[in-house]
Structures are given as structure tokens and as C-alpha cells.
Structure 1
Amino acid sequence: MSTSILVVDDETDLEILLIQKFRKQIREGTLRFLFAHDGVEALAVLAANQDVDMVLSDINMPRMDGLSLLAKLQERDQDLSTIIVSAYSDMANIRTAMNRGAYDFVTKPIDFPDLEATIDKTIHHVEALREAQRRQTAAEQARASLSRYFSPNLAERLASSANVLDLGGTRREVASLFTDLTGFTTLVETIEPKVLGPLLNDYIVGMTDIVFAHDGTVAKIIGDALHVLFGAPSDQPDHASRAVACSLALDAFAGSFREHWSRKGIPLGHTRIGAHAGTAVVGNFGGGRFFDYSAYGDTINVAARLEAANKTLGTRICVSGSVAAKARGFCGRPVGDLLLRGRSEPIRAFEPLDTNRCASPETQAYIEAFKKLEACDPGAIASFAALVGRNAEDRLTSFHLKRLLNGEISTTIAI
């Protein structure tokens, strides 16, 4: 690597001596010298040569002295390492120069071995600064990329890791969560782009803010749909609890968002959410040019299927039994044993509820009715009919009542 040094001195003999003393380094291309005879000329040379690494400057010069040059460099925020040359008896000016940002000094008459050692030391200093700047730039680039996927705190931690963009694929215990805004494709065809843009942006920002508040990872955003991970890229022993809490918060936000736009005359569908917990292969599968933090495996597929199952069940949130079992203090209504297409074993599913709904008499009545359904008790029909009578808007109880009336007295539901 070549180092460019600007020598600022009104003694022309110094130029000849430096070229002679450092001719080997100049010939090999490791050092390049530029020359100016005062501070004014030095500023012009610096303006024309942006690659100067170091300034070697005398103090006493016509037009603009070395101290004034240092002040100008500070004003221009030119981060150059400067070596001051002055007589040892001029220690007051040397001290002033050091206070103005000079890196080191050599005294006149110049001792060239000492000058060479000082230049070498300064070169190492310049290289250390360059490396620090490279690291900072790399960290900023990583942070900008990571902030699309991770919460600010997590992105900050990951950006400081040297191998963050080379995560690779690892098998992890995760909770996978999918969301989808119903009817969005139809909505796109019916409203103006100038309305659609703010609507979609506000929705995505609101949803991702909630995910990040729960330290989740946004693995994908496709249109209005989100794929969220908990437990990756760093371990989260409470990943299932985070998934449940995040689901409830997302549902609350989506409901208020829907009401807001409804008042503006734009009908939005409900947001459906599905979550499942288990193992998955997660990591950066895009390589250096395209950072694509993704997850693969049955856990991911099941979560996506549970999100879609809401349409049939009449629920807005549907989580698997593995999520319910791992989430601390989980409370919710059992939905049934979902037999997903292509799978031989059913998956117990639940509709998570907040604390108030969980403790309500209606929820307790539903749980009692569901127990009768599990026991294949014919009295389940009357119990679900009573629930529908009290709240016709409860689509999950209506779903079960309809199945019971069709003779399906079972908790197994083919989806």
C-alpha cells in the first residue's frame, strides 16, 4: 500500500534531501512525496490530491505558517496525520501544534533516522485509522441491512459481529408466525395507488414495530404478509411466549387499523395469524450480494397452514399445541385437532386470548362445550347452540355448531 506525504517547507533543499533519503521507498511505490512551500500552497495541493495521508510541515513559513495551516485543516475537518518540524528551542510552538491536532514532531536540524522512524510510526497510525473506518463502514452497512429483519437492539448486536453476513444455515428451536390481510389482493384492484401506498406503508410499519418490540425477526415481507421468527438468529428460550404475546398485539393493532380505514370508507379484511413452534433450518441463504435471512422446514410450513386455517375456522389467530405448551401461562380456547392435508397426524390448535377474555364466563362456557365435543357427548350441540345464541358473531362456536348439526361429533377437523 502506498502512503502519500505532503511536505510543507520553504527550504528547497529539504525536497532534494527527502527524495534522496527515501529513494528506495519512492522507487518501490510505498511512499509518494508532494511538496508545497507554505500553508497557502499546501491547501491548494491538498484540494487537488484527495489521497494525501500525512502532512510533514515546518512551523515558520511565509504567507501561512504551520500553526495556521493546522487550524485550517481542523476547520475543514480534514482528518490528516500531521508531523510538525521545528527547532527544539521553539517548544512553545510545538506544544501549540500538538494541541491543534498534530500527531508528532521532529526537531531541526532533521535527524533522518529519527524522521524515518516517525514517518513509519505515523503510517501505522494512519493504517489503524483506515481499518477503524473500514470496520465502521462495514458495521453501518450491516446495520442498515439487518434493520430490515431484526429489532434495533438485535441489529446493533449482530452488526458488531465480524461474521454476521455469513450466518449460514443452522438448525434451531424457533416459533414461526405468519400474518395475512384478507381481501388485500381485491382491495389493490379497487383503490387508487395514492391511497394504497400510505395504507400499506402504515400497516407494515405498525406490524413490524410490534414484531420488533417483542424482539422478533422479520424473515419475509410479501405484499401485506409477514413471516416472523422467534428464537433466531439468537436463542430465545421464551420464543413461544413471545410468539403468543406478539400475535395478540398484532391482532389488536390490525383491528384498530381496520376501524381507522373503515371510517375513511375503505373496508379492510381481518388479519389472520398462525404460529407453530419446533425445529427449523435458519440462516442467510443469499450469499454476499443478497442478504436473505430465511427459515425452512416443517415448522415453517405448519405455521403457514395454521394462518390459512383461520379462514375455515372463523378465527383470527390460530396457534399449535406446541406453542401453547411452551408459552408460559398460555390461555386460549381449544379449536380442535387439525388434520392438515398431506399429514397423517392431527395437530391440536388453539385460539389464544388475552387475560380478560380468558377469564370471561363466555370462554369458560366454550371450554365446557368443547369438553363435551371431545367426549362425543350429544349434549355438545345444545351447549354450542346456547353459545351462538348469546353471541352470533363468535364464528368459532358457529363453526363447531354447524359441524355438529352435520353429524360431525369429533374434534378432528380436516383442513
Structure 2
Amino acid sequence: MIELIPGGMLHSRILIVHEDEEQLNFLRQYIAMQDYETEIVKTGEEVIGAMDQFHPDLIVMNLFLPGLSGIEVLREIREREDLEQIPVIIMSSDDSDEARIVCLSSGANDYITSPLSLPDLSIKIQNSLEMLGYRRQILNLNAKLAKEKSILLRYFSPDLVEKILNEEIRPELGGQTLNGTVMFFDIRGSTPLAERIGPKLYASFISDLFARLFDIIFSHQGSVNELLGDGILASFGCPVEIEEHRLFATKAALDIRNFFKEFNQSQKPDYLPDDIRFGVGIASGKIFAGNIGSAIRLKYAVMGDPVNTAARIQELARDLNTDILVDENTAKGCNGSVHPQVVGSYQLRGKVERVNVYKV
């Protein structure tokens, strides 16, 4: 839970606006005694220029000014985006409800009648500056939240990001074990391609390509867990468990296939000499999903047998010169929407038992 801390009370800048020089100097002396930095002007026409130079945190302004009135100045302040948050306290000899309502509806934060009660003025100044401090904290928190959200959106789908920001998914060390699906994606022939077009152009190509692949993964409720040079490790069904994670991962792989088909036919840049080929391995099962590392440095990761199996199946897809292979557990979860076909039973590197592999 975020706690807002009162701030901006002492050493704040206050602009005082009054046509009477004696009253103006009295107010300046009184307000300055409370450790506020002050500036004074006599007319409404001077206010905006003084604000641009002095950058006040608060304006204490008389309603009746020669030339431009206090109401007109107030409306001009509220029309400027860079000044609209600055609180304004209006002083006036008119104690009618009508005058008070007009001022407050025009953007004043408070209203005080003369003869002035100095204790009341002090309280209104303090309250207005506290509210300004709260507003500034909220703006800073919103900016920080927007920045954190933009970072999270690079790796997680928008609905998952909302859960993280709403603290439905805890950011502490640790995680949970759940049923999920892991996808390993790899671009074939990346090393000779990088050598041929150069590292800078290759990096630009990969960045643009991955941005589109991320959209495909996110559209199927997947998360991007790792970027592996020219490869991607993605997961489905974690950190938020979803029933059809196997089907979603498989459909994401099929959409990736469709994307590359269209890309190679009509979107391939002139600097690419050949069609882009890829390989995908998918495996499902029990996965640990959560934060690993230490209190100093946390990293969100997925771990477990499906991670290793998906990596080995992706390598097998390369050896078999095909693009998408899945394990038996994934194939069983396609629910008739996709129809995987048995390729065979293979002894994958690092696995004790043979793994039944399917193509889609």
C-alpha cells in the first residue's frame, strides 16, 4: 500500500499579489516569518510574468486588483497546463456567498475575507501546500508507475501486467509450482546471416522482428521470460494459471508460422538474402514460476523439466528440418482445435526416458 507523506510546507515559494503597498509588505513580512520564500507584485498583469520567473508553489492574491482582476488572473492561470496545479488563495473584503462561489468555481483553492485573520491565513497556506505536496507525489508515482508498466509490457501481456501492478502477483523472492507450457523459439542460420549483413543491421532486424513476435505471444496470454540472443523463451499459464495453456502455446506457434510465411513472401527487407527460417519446441508440465536470486537482485524465471524438454525439442526440430514440434503432454492439451501428428519417440539429451514428439 502506498502512503503519501505531507511535504512542501516549509521553504516553499509564495507569490503575494495586492494593490496596497502597505498591506503587501505586511503580508510579505508575516509570511516570510514562517520560513516561506516570498515575492510580491501589485497588479494582475504582473502575475504571469512573476510566476514564470519566481516559480511559486502558492499564490495569495487579492480579488480586487487594478486593471486585470483577480478572477481574470485566476482563469488565465488555470488555462495554462504548467500552472494549473499551483494553489491560489483569494483574499477579499467581499464576504458574500456569491463572491466565494465565483472564486472557487473559477479555480481558487481557498477564500479568506478581510480584515484578515492571520492564524486562519497560516492554516490555509499550510493546507494548500500540503495538498500541493500530495498532488506532486501522486504525479511522481503515476510517472513511475507508467515507466514500470512500459518495462513490464516488454515481457508480459497487458492483462498480466495489470495483475502484477495490482499486486495480485507478489514481487518478493519465491514463487509457485503450477501446470504450464514452455516455448523455445530460435531463428535458423542466424550466425551466417549476422556475418553477412553486419552486427548493427542484424541487431535492428532482430529488434523489429521480436517486437512482432512478442505481440503474437502476448495475444495468446503468454509471457516472454528470456531473450536468448536470437531466441526467445516464452511461457504460458504462469505466473497466472490458465486451463488451456497447452492450446494457447500451440496456437501461438502456429501464428508465428503464419507470420513468417507472410514475412518471407511480402515483408522481407531487401538486405535479407534468403527467407527467414525458425524452429519452435514446446513442452508442458509442472513448472516453478517466480522470482529467483537475492534481495539485492531479483529475476523472474520459469524452471522445471518442461523448460529443458522444450529446449531439446527445439533442437530436434532443427535436426529433423521442421519448424514446430511439441511433446505428448502438449499434444494432449490441444482439445481437438489443433491436430498434432506423431513424429516418433526420441532420446533427448539430458533425459532419462524417451519422449514422444509431435508435429503441428
Establish whether residue 334 from structure 1 lines up as the match of residue 339 from structure 2: no
User: 1:181 aligned to 160, 174, 187, which one?
Assistant: 187
Establish whether residue 48 from structure 1 lines up as the match of residue 53 from structure 2: yes
1:288-340 CA distance string (max 9 Å, x none): 99885432333222211111111223331111122223343352111222222
Mapped contact 2:87–2:128 kept (Cα < 8 A) = yes
Residue 122 and residue 350 in structure 1: after superposition, are their counterparts in 2 closer, same or farther (change >3 A)? same
Cα distance in structure 2, aligned partners of 1:262 and 1:35? 65
User: 1:132 aligned to 129, 138, 155, which one?
Assistant: 138
Cα distance in structure 2, aligned partners of 1:288 and 1:37? 57
Cα distance in structure 2, aligned partners of 1:181 and 1:36? 68
Which secondary structure state, in structure 2, belongs to the residue aligned with residue 57 of structure 1? strand
User: 1:345 aligned to 336, 344, 353, which one?
Assistant: 353
Residue 110 and residue 261 in structure 1: after superposition, are their counterparts in 2 closer, same or farther (change >3 A)? closer
Q: Please provide the CA RMSD for this pair.
A: 3.1
Cα distance in structure 2, aligned partners of 1:148 and 1:286? 21
Unmatched tracts of structure 1, length 5 or more: 353-415
Residue 15 and residue 157 in structure 1: after superposition, are their counterparts in 2 closer, same or farther (change >3 A)? farther
Unmatched tracts of structure 2, length 5 or more: 1-6
Establish whether residue 37 from structure 1 lines up as the match of residue 42 from structure 2: yes
Cα distance in structure 2, aligned partners of 1:315 and 1:56? 75
1:91-170 alignment, distance < 5 Å: 92-159=98-165, 161=166, 166-170=171-175
Q: Quick one: percent identity of the two aligned structures? A: 25
1:2-401 alignment, distance < 5 Å: 2-3=8-9, 4=12, 5-11=14-20, 12-17=22-27, 19-20=29-30, 23=33, 25-26=34-35, 31-50=36-55, 52-77=56-81, 78=83, 79-89=85-95, 92-159=98-165, 161=166, 166-173=171-178, 174-191=180-197, 196=202, 199-260=205-266, 266-284=273-291, 292-329=299-336, 331-352=339-360
Q: Which has the higher contact order (CA 8 A, sep 6+)?
A: 2
Give aligned pairs, total: 345
Mapped contact 2:224–2:232 kept (Cα < 8 A) = yes
Residue 133 and residue 75 in structure 1: after superposition, are their counterparts in 2 closer, same or farther (change >3 A)? same
Which secondary structure state, in structure 1, belongs to the residue aligned with residue 15 of structure 2? strand
Mapped contact 1:320–1:349 kept (Cα < 8 A) = yes
Cα distance in structure 2, aligned partners of 1:298 and 1:118? 64
TM-score normalised over the length of structure 1: 0.73
Mapped contact 1:59–1:86 kept (Cα < 8 A) = yes
TM-score normalised over the length of structure 2: 0.83
Cα distance in structure 2, aligned partners of 1:48 and 1:175? 59
Counterpart residue type for residue 117 of structure 1: I
Residue 75 and residue 269 in structure 1: after superposition, are their counterparts in 2 closer, same or farther (change >3 A)? closer
1:211-243 CA distance string (max 9 Å, x none): 121121112233431111112232222211211
Which secondary structure state, in structure 1, belongs to the residue aligned with residue 322 of structure 2? coil
Cα distance in structure 2, aligned partners of 1:196 and 1:258? 16
Cα distance in structure 1, aligned partners of 2:332 and 2:242? 16
Mapped contact 2:8–2:130 kept (Cα < 8 A) = no
Which residue number in structure 2 is paired with residue 396 of structure 1?
Answer: none
Cα distance in structure 1, aligned partners of 2:37 and 2:170? 36
**Per-residue deviation, 1:15:** 4.1
Mapped contact 2:62–2:91 kept (Cα < 8 A) = yes
Counterpart residue type for residue 48 of structure 2: L
Which secondary structure state, in structure 2, belongs to the residue aligned with residue 166 of structure 1? coil
**Per-residue deviation, 1:137:** 1.0
Cα distance in structure 2, aligned partners of 1:61 and 1:127? 29
